[in-house]
Chain A
Amino acid sequence: MSHVADTPAQPIAFTRNAREALADAQLRRNFRGAMDALMDKRRNQFPDGDELERLRAFGNRVRARALSKLPDLLERLEANLVRNGVQVHWAETVEEANAIVHGIAERHAARKVIKGKSMVSEEMEMNHYLGARGVDCLESDMGEFIVQLRAEKPSHIIMPAIHLNAGQVAKLFHDKLAVEYTEDVDRLIQIGRETLRRNFFEADIGVSGVNFAIAETGTLLLVENEGNGRMSTTVPPVHIAVTGIEKVVENLRDVIPLLSLLTRSATGQPITTYVNMISGPRKADELDGPQEVHLVLLDNGRSQAFADGELRQTLNCIRCGACMNHCPVYTRIGGHAYGTVYPGPIGKIVTPHMLGLETTRDLPTASSMCGACGEVCPVKIPIPSLLRRLREEAVRAPAAEPHHVRGQGAKHSRKETLVWRAWRTLNTSPGLYRAAMYAGTRLRGLMPADIGPWTRYRSAPKPAARSLHELAREHLGEQ
């Protein structure tokens, strides 16, 4: 059995994807219910607003400090991991990262990979890459397992199958796993457990992500509730962790505030069931754990975001998903409409660095700029400012220097540039402005009733008979 997911939605088709998603009543109910619950849970974890604000500021400083010495910390992390017996690999692109993982698989003649949840492996489309080369990847996180059975992508970075309800999962299990139809969630989870259990020890390789890589001790920290992460990183003879280069923190104690912010913001838990800290492969006298541990450090556009002081803040992200849980756009269109691995507000600011603005140009504009994402971000990423910045990069002339983002100017239009130039002239030349206002008010009868998308849901605006300036002058003149 091969588990190869296809890609149904693409970011370039965002507008169409969003329109389709909006018309799907079931999808909207599923997301509305889930997001409301997640927002409540997070709120309950932070009863003390003062503590929350101080902790967010602290989390921001811890991340900023790590990024301010990122190259040194990466080298220190590597040195300490190597001292602990972990093999470290570096990859600039997802192709390189996949080739590294495949190389390890080939050396072990591996046929079967069991995966704990990893968004970086989604970024790499590792399942597809290895599947095409005869190595079967099986997802073991319950949510990931469900979306893999449906040949779908995760619709949320923490809750991959959040777009589905129990009835839909019941039908899926009934159809694909040949089990009795049941909507009882306990029973469905037991079916998942039983189906996956043997796979943990049949797998040749376990793959996981990393939540925090600790430079000081050479430790990979993973959080999870199910135990599949511990299984995937303990039972198979080889463990490969894949992560982005930004995930490093300086000291062990730095994970304390970040861990608290992560689990409370993500799922409203004081802590996850398991906090799994891996500092090396099985030692000679130990009886379990992998014989080999590998870490693949992936760039994939992160160094581009890093190059700009403002955009660098994108890399503060600890992947909690609170921004999407609180996003009015995400709640209405769901995660698939974005057509990207990372959906929602964080996806809109991180994906342009991974894919370039050519295909992601509509993402920064898919926001009402309400600011909720920035307000809840546990590490204080100014997401709305970064969205505005990326909008600017998308319309900056393609040849303008310096070049901050790949695909700069993807939305650039000569016509729009001219319109704005004219607008600026009009608003900065008093004589011209007065003349335009005079013409606009006197010719108001000529305003068309249909002005494109604006009038699809609204009536056309009609200028007043006289401008405010005129009325004010008249009023002051009378005094």
Chain B
Amino acid sequence: MNAKERILGKLRASLAGTTPVADDYDIGLVTDPWRYAADERIARLRRMLEAVHGETLVTTVAQWPQRVLEALAARGIDELLVSPATVHGRRLAEHVRAQDAALRLKGYENPVEAWKDELFFHTPASLTGTLGGIAATGSLVLWPSPQEPRLMSLVPPLHIALLNASEVRDNLFELMHAQRWTDGLPTNALLVSGPSKTADIQQTLAYGAHGPKELLVLVIEDA
């Protein structure tokens, strides 16, 4: 017998004669306290994100590329990691060209092994889309993809995330249900609620532990 058989054998012997506890999942308890009126939903999300040093900005489909340029210019950043293969990536590239802006766009085009040093030490900012948001906890939902890999939202010191206001749900239960998560999860699914932080030294909160020091969320209200 191997370890698995021995462990399962012991557990099964201990359960002999018992009946499994029924699933009396209380949906109301994880949804009712976390419901918001339509006009309050985005306000709640912003308030929760800002409480943990996330920065939020409400903008529009037409305006967001310019907001990105402004945010980067304000920080003196002239290079952005953004996927050229996404709709928002192409949109930003067009805007940069049209504005003749002094912003270099680079894509995450090779496996991380091929450009670790550049990603970790010479990539000041990134921009990714999101799958949605959660008002209750002020969370962004990210499903990294070949176009927008996992480290894009983690390694650069500034992460800019685009969030369509229509994709913001009240709570996690509603979001998982609406997006049918149980049908299949990606390699990595993430909830991101603010920039990286720690209180490991004397309970004192400090931002920018290992991940982004800044998280800027552009809430696109007409999308």
The chain A residues found within 8 Å of chain B, CB to CB, are 30, 33-34, 37-38, 48, 51, 54-55, 58, 61, 64-65, 68-71, 74-75, 90-92, 96, 140-143, 146, 159-162, 164-166, 169, 185-186, 188-190, 192-193, 196-198, 200-201, 216-217, 219, 225-228, 230-231, 234-235, 237, 245, 250-254, 256-257, 259-260, 267, 270-283, 285-289, 297, 299, 303, 306-308, 312
**B210 on the interface (CB 8 Å rule)?**
yes
B 173-215 to A, binary, CB cutoff 8 A, 1 in contact else 0: 1001000011011111111111111111111101111111000
A273 with B187: CB separation less than 8 A: no
Q: Is the CB of A286 within 8 A of B146?
A: yes
Q: Mark B1-35, 1 if CB is under 8 A from A, else 0.
A: 01110111011111100111111111001100100
Q: Would B14 and A303 count as touching, CB distance under 8 A? A: yes
List which B142-180 residues lie within 8 A (CB) of chain A.
144-146, 149-151, 154, 172-173, 176
Given contacts A225-B198, A277-B189, A303-B7, whether A270 and B48 have CB atoms under 8 Å apart is yes
Name the segment of B73-81, B97-105, B110-118 touching the other chain: B110-118
Q: Which residues of B contact A192 (CB under 8 A)?
A: 209
**A131 CA / B80 CA spacing, docked (Å):** 40
Contact flag A64-B21 (CB < 8 Å), given A231-B154, A276-B190: yes
**B59 is an interface residue with CB less than 8 A from chain A:** no
Sorted nearest first, the 6 A-B pairs with minimum C-beta distance are A227-B211, A143-B200, A226-B209, A227-B210, A275-B191, A90-B4
CA distance A58 to B21 in the complex (A): 12
Docked Cα-Cα span, A91 to B7, in Å, equals: 8
Q: A253 near B210 (CB under 8 angstroms)? A: no
Question: Chain B residue with minimal CB distance to A198?
Answer: B120
B203 and A162 within 8 A (CB): yes
Binding site for A on B (CB under 8 A): 2-4, 6-8, 10-15, 18-26, 29-30, 33, 48, 52, 108-113, 116, 120, 136-139, 144-146, 149-151, 154, 172-173, 176, 181-182, 184-204, 206-212
* Docked pose: A277 CA to B143 CA in angstroms: 10
Out of A30, A141, A186, A252, name the residue touching B182 (CB < 8 Å): A252
CB neighbours of A282 from chain B (8 A): 187
* Smallest beta-carbon distance B198→chain A, Å: 5
The chain B residue sitting closest to A169, CB to CB, is: B201
- Inter-chain contact A71/B15, CB cutoff 8 Å: yes
Question: Which residue of chain B has its CB nearest to the CB of A257?
Answer: B30
Give the Cβ gap from B79 to chain A, nearest Cβ, in Å.
19
Q: Which residues of A contact B192 (CB under 8 A)?
A: 273-274
Whether the pair A234, B29 counts as a contact (CB closer than 8 A) is: no
The answer to whether B26 and A58 have CB atoms under 8 Å apart is yes
Known: A69-B20, A312-B14. 17 other contacts (CB 8 A): A30-B202, A34-B202, A61-B21, A90-B2, A143-B198, A146-B201, A186-B206, A193-B208, A250-B23, A253-B182, A254-B25, A257-B26, A270-B193, A271-B138, A271-B193, A286-B144, A307-B10
CB distance from A396 to the nearest CB of B (A): 20
The answer on a CB contact under 8 Å between B198 and A288 is no
Q: Please give, as numbers and ranges, the residues of chain B lying within 8 Å of A160 by CB-CB distance.
A: 200
Task: Given A54-B29, A61-B24, A164-B202, check contact A235 B189 (CB 8 Å).
Answer: no
CB distance from A160 to the nearest CB of B (A): 7
Cβ-defined contact, A273 with B52, below 8 A: yes
User: CB-CB < 8 A to B24: which residues of A?
Assistant: 61
Given A193-B209, A271-B137, do A185 and B14 touch, yes or no (CB 8 Å)?
Answer: no
Cβ-defined contact, A65 with B23, below 8 A: yes
A316 to B52 Cα, complex, angstroms: 30
Q: Closest CB-CB distance, A20 to chain B, in whole Å?
A: 22
Which among A217, A252, A259, A271 has the greatest number of chain B C-beta atoms within 10 A?
A271
> Once the chains bind, are B11 and A306 in contact (CB under 8 Å)?
yes
**Whole-angstrom distance from the CB of B191 to the nearest CB of chain A?**
4
A165: min CB distance to chain B, Å:
5
Partner of A234, one of B33, B154, B206: B154
Contact residue among B20, B52, B108, B154 (Cβ-Cβ distance under 8 Å from A227): B154
Complex CA distance for A68 and B22, rounded to whole angstroms? 9
Q: How far is A228 from B211 in the complex, measured between Cα atoms in Å?
A: 7
